[in-house]
Structure 1
Amino acid sequence: MAHYFSERPDTSHKPGSVSLVLPDLHLRLETDSGVFSPERVDLGTKILLESVPPPPQEGDLLDLGCGYGPIALTMATRAPGSTVWAVDVNRRSLELTERNAQAAGLYKVRPIHIDDAPDDVKFRAIWSNPAIRIGKPALHAMLTRWLSRLTPDGVAYLVVQKHLGSDSLQRWLGEQGWQASREASRAAYRILKVTR
């Protein structure tokens, strides 16, 4: 069974496109089967992008689990002076993010496999619709790895459905020593703000 969190989905290609419409931007994004939410921009992703404050205008930013790029491209549009690292395990997703960034003229988006991101880069902001369905141990390991790379003044925003464990994730983050607060709540989604 191929999942969107498979490295090389074996589902046959089914190219498509979706519209990302936000108050400050309108992008047409190329999608394909075997990636997260190929039929439409995921509601959680849209709520995240409509709820968070603007990203830092310079430095390194991270889209953790980029899919075909809606979060990374929004960050890059809102913070043209920043470099946006778009990481994912899914190679098909990374190719789509690369093509979508090029098509939008967003040349400071860096799609990269999750294991190939340079270790010395620290992030001023992390935005993510994390892959909850990989299971708690893998999710916790992923968040521990990437949140530890926030700059001292860095902030992460995570969108998680309430029934998929947003409240327990918020508690777990607090137990790990992070400041985790609910930034927004809408349509059964929670936006968690995480700082040191």
Structure 2
Amino acid sequence: MTEAFPDSRSRRARQAELKRDLEFADTLAGESLRFRTTWGLFSPRRIDDGTRMLLDRIDVRPSDDCLDLGCGYGPIGLTLARKAPQGMTTLVDTNFLAVEYSRRNAELNGITNVECVNSNGFAQICDRRFDLVASNLPAKVGREMLYTYLLDAHEQMNPGGRIYVVTITGLRRFIEKGFKEVFGNYDKVKQGREYTVAAAEREPD
């Protein structure tokens, strides 16, 4: 029993350490931001390379109403909100914990022109219209769901609105085909060895 106590205490200390928020700061597309994250969220200790590649190439207008589709703890959406102070940015994710940390990070950075919503894609925001949609699309959701996201995005984008996505480079042909079928246009913004950023525009009706 006397030998078990240190092990038990060590386990409790380790458990407390794992539950403690992770914190870091970064500069994304020229915007200085602080983040609190936790284990279980995507890339909790640093901004992943795909997100950084995407944000470095998005053209944001000050009055854009933006959507961050699959927001995680908020790096894309909060950056867009900073760059579009006259617009409203909506952050959505299926993961309740991700949405909660997006809210916390908006407060941490004093960003008020945001709304964070727990939603499976566009399901809970079907009344919104957007000038800019951005997403770090996860390959694991499957091609059928990715195609659904593109169709829903087109439906809820304003004419002249833009969509930017980053995917693993292995999905670039699928995204090209999807953009051309849904939007009628496609722009390969940047292709790297691991990730590709692509864009399309909703043409005027």
Q: How far does residue 23 in structure 1 lie from its aligned partner after superposition?
A: 5.3
The question of whether the paired residues in 1 share the 8 Å contact of 2:119 and 2:125 is answered with no
Give 2:174's aligned residue.
168
Alignment counterpart, residue 112 of structure 1, candidates 113, 117, 128: 117
Q: What TM-score, normalized by structure 2, do the two folds share?
A: 0.82
Unaligned 5+ runs, structure 1: 1-11
Alignment correspondent of 1:93: 98
**Which structure's residues are more often helix, by fraction?**
2
Q: Which secondary structure does the structure 2 equivalent of 1:126 belong to?
A: strand
Does the 8 Å contact 2:25/2:35 carry over to 1?
Answer: yes
Match of 1:102 in 2: 107
More strand by share: 1
TM-score by length of 1: 0.86
Tell me the number of residue pairs that the alignment of Structure 1 and Structure 2 aligns. Answer: 183
Tell me, yes or no, if the aligned pair for 1:47 and 1:186 is still in contact at 8 Å: no
Q: Which has the larger radius of gyration?
A: 2
Letter in 2 for 1:18: F
Q: CA deviation at 1:60?
A: 1.9
Q: Indicate the percent of aligned positions where both proteins have the same amino acid.
A: 29
What does residue 139 of structure 1 align with?
146
Over 3 Å counting, the alpha-carbon distance change for 1:194 and 1:23 in structure 2 is: closer
1:125 pairs with one of 121, 125, 132: 132
Deviation at 1:37, TM superposition (A): 1.2
Distance 1:192 1:162 in 2: 10
Is contact 1:64-1:86 (8 Å) kept?
Answer: yes
Deviates more, 1:23-32 or 1:105-114: 23-32
Cα distance in 1 for residues equivalent to 2:39 and 2:47: 14
Paired residues of 2:169 and 2:192 also in contact (CA < 8 A) = no
* Secondary structure of 1:148's aligned partner: helix
